[in-house]
C-alpha cells in the first residue's frame, strides 16, 4: 500500500512538471509551415495584442523584444514586470541584427508585416498571427503554445480554450432567444479623433451580438473604419461603447452634436475596460469582455454575474496574478494601476 501511495505521489509530481516538446513544424495563422527546432525560450513579439496570449500560456517572461510600452499598457507591465527588461521599439519593426544579438529563437508578427521576410532571412523562425473571431483566436493560442513547446503551455492553452467555450455557451444560452426589439442597438467607437467605428467581420461585432446587442455599424466592413458624425446621428444607437484610451464623449468635438442620441439621453455611453490589453479588441481578455458586455446590456439576465469577482478569478487563473478588488474595479473603469 505504501509503495502504491509513493508511486501515486511521484506520478502527480511528474505531471506538474512542464516538459519541453520535441522539434516540430508549426502552422501559423495564415498557413505558413514554420520549423521549430527546439522550444522557444527567447521570443520577440511584434503584435501588440499577442503578448496577452503568451502571458496566458505562462510564457510572458520569454519575451525579450516587445512593441508595447509601460505608458501605453501599464497593466501589462505591472502584471508581467519582466517586460521592463525587454528591448522596446517604437512602431512594429525590430532590427534583425538586434534580434540575432539577443539570441531570439522565434518572432511573432501581425498579418501583412513588411519586416517578416527580413526576420526569416536572418534565420529566425517567424510566425504570422491573425485572428478575427473566437475560434481563430483559440487556434492561434494553441499554435503559440506549440512554439513555446512545453507541456504546461499546451495544458494552459487547453484550459483557456475550454473556459472561453464555457463562457460563450453560458451567455448564448441566455441571449440567443432575445427578440430583435429586446436587443439594444450598439455602436462601438474605437477612436474619437478621428471618428472610427468597428463594423461587421470583426471580433467586436461578434461579442456585441453574443452579448445580446445589435451592431448599428454593421454596414461598415472591418475594424477601425473612419465614419462621419452624420452617420452616427443616423444610426442613433441605444448604447455607445468607447474604447479605452479614446477619451470621453463629453470632452470630444461631438459632445453637443451627439446630445440628441438615445445613448446619450439614456446615459448609456460606457468606457470599455482595459487591463493587460483593451478587452474589446484582440486578446485573451475577450473572455471577460463578453461577460462584461452581456452584464451591461442585459443586467436582468445576468444578475448573478459578479464581474469584479470574475475579473479577479481570470487574472489569477490565466495570468498567475492576484488582483485585489480595487485593482479589478480600476481595470473595469479603464484606469491604470494605482
Amino acid 132: pLDDT: 83
Residue 285 above 80 pLDDT? Answer: yes
pLDDT of residue 9: 46
Instruction: Report pLDDT for 16.
Output: 45
pLDDT digits (tens, 9 = 90+) for 211-235: 999 999 999 999 999 999 999 999 9
Query: What's the pLDDT at 191?
Result: 95
Q: Tell me what the pLDDT averaged over the chain comes to.
A: 93
Correct CATH for 178-302 of 3.40.50.1980, 3.40.50.1370, 3.20.20.60, 3.40.50.720: 3.40.50.1980
The superfamily (CATH) of domain 21-164 is Nitrogenase molybdenum iron protein domain (3.40.50.1980)
Q: Do domains 21-164 and 178-302 have the same CATH topology?
A: yes
Those residues with Cβ within 8 angstroms of residue 8's Cβ, 6 or more apart along the chain or in another chain: none
Mean pLDDT, residues 154-174:
98
Helices (H), the chain: 2-16, 51-56, 74-79, 96-101, 116-121, 134-148, 151-175, 203-210, 229-235, 262-265, 286-297, 307-319, 325-332
pLDDT score of 120 more than 50: yes
For the full predicted model, state whether its pTM sits above 0.75.
Answer: yes
Helix (H) or strand (E) holding 25: strand 24-27
Q: Can you give the residue ranges of every domain in the chain?
A: 21-164, 178-302
Which whole number is the average pLDDT over 124-129? 98
pLDDT over threshold 70, residue 236: yes
pLDDT at position 196: 97
* Choice between 23 and 72, residue whose per-residue pLDDT is larger: 72
Amino acid at each position: 500500500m505504501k509503495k502504491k501511495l509513493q508511486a501515486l505521489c511521484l506520478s502527480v509530481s511528474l505531471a506538474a512538471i512542464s516538459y519541453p516538446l520535441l522539434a516540430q513544424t508549426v502552422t501559423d495563422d495564415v498557413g505558413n509551415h514554420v520549423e521549430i527546432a527546439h522550444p522557444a525560450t527567447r521570443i520577440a513579439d511584434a503584435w501588440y495584442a499577442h503578448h496577452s496570449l503568451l502571458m496566458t500560456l505562462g510564457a510572458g517572461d520569454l519575451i525579450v523584444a516587445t512593441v508595447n510600452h509601460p505608458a501605453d499598457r501599464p497593466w501589462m507591465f505591472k502584471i508581467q514586470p519582466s517586460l521592463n527588461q525587454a528591448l522596446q521599439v517604437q512602431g512594429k519593426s525590430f532590427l534583425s541584427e538586434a534580434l540575432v544579438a539577443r539570441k531570439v529563437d522565434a518572432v511573432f508578427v501581425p498579418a501583412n508585416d513588411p519586416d517578416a521576410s527580413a526576420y526569416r532571412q536572418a534565420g529566425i523562425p517567424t510566425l504570422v498571427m491573425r485572428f478575427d473571431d473566437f475560434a481563430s483566436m483559440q487556434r492561434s493560442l494553441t499554435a503559440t503554445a506549440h512554439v513555446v513547446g512545453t507541456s504546461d503551455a499546451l495544458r494552459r492553452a487547453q484550459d483557456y480554450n475550454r473556459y472561453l467555450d464555457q463562457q460563450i455557451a453560458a451567455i448564448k444560452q441566455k441571449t440567443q432567444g432575445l427578440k430583435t426589439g429586446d436587443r439594444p442597438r450598439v455602436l462601438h467607437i474605437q477612436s474619437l479623433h478621428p471618428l472610427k467605428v468597428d463594423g461587421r467581420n470583426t471580433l467586436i461585432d461578434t461579442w456585441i451580438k453574443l452579448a445580446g446587442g445589435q451592431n448599428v455599424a454593421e454596414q461598415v466592413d472591418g475594424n477601425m473604419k473612419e465614419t462621419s458624425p452624420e452617420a452616427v446621428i443616423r444610426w442613433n444607437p441605444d448604447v455607445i461603447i468607447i474604447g479605452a484610451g479614446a477619451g470621453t464623449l463629453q470632452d470630444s468635438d461631438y459632445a453637443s452634436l451627439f446630445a440628441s442620441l438615445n445613448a446619450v439621453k439614456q446615459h448609456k455611453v460606457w468606457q470599455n475596460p482595459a487591463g493587460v490589453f483593451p478587452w474589446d479588441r484582440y486578446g485573451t481578455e475577450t473572455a471577460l469582455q463578453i461577460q462584461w458586455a452581456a452584464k451591461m446590456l442585459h443586467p436582468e439576465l445576468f444578475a448573478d454575474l459578479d464581474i469584479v469577482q470574475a475579473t479577479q478569478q481570470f487574472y489569477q487563473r490565466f495570468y498567475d496574478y492576484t488582483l485585489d478588488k480595487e485593482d479589478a474595479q480600476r481595470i473595469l473603469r479603464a484606469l491604470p494601476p494605482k
